[in-house]
Amino acid sequence: MAEAEQPQLYLITPSEFELSRFPDQLAKVLDAQEVACVRLALGSHDEDRIARAADACREVTHARDVALVIDTHLMLVERLGLDGVHLTDGARSVRAARKELGADAIVGSFCGTSRHEGMNAGESGADYISFGPLGASGLGDGSRADHGLFEWWSQMIELPVVAEGHLDAELVRALVPVTDFFGIGDEIWRSDDPQAALTQLVDAMV
Query: Does the structural domain 8-203 have CATH classification 3.30.70.640?
Result: no
Domain boundaries, the chain: 8-203
Whole-angstrom CA distances from 184 to 41, 98, 104, 120, 187 are 12, 25, 24, 25, 6
CA-to-CA distance for 180 and 49, rounded, in angstroms? 32
Burial class (CB in 10 A: 0-12, 13-18, 19+), 167: buried
pTM: 0.95
CA-to-CA distance for 5 and 58, rounded, in angstroms? 28
pLDDT tens, N- to C-terminus, the chain (206 residues): 344 469 999 999 999 999 999 999 999 999 999 999 999 999 999 999 999 999 999 999 999 999 999 999 999 999 999 999 999 999 999 999 999 999 999 999 999 999 999 999 999 999 999 999 998 765 556 789 999 999 999 999 999 999 999 999 999 999 999 999 999 999 999 999 999 999 999 999 99
Residues 6 or more apart whose CB falls under 8 angstroms from that of 9 comprise 33, 34, 35, 36, 181, 182, 184, 198, 202
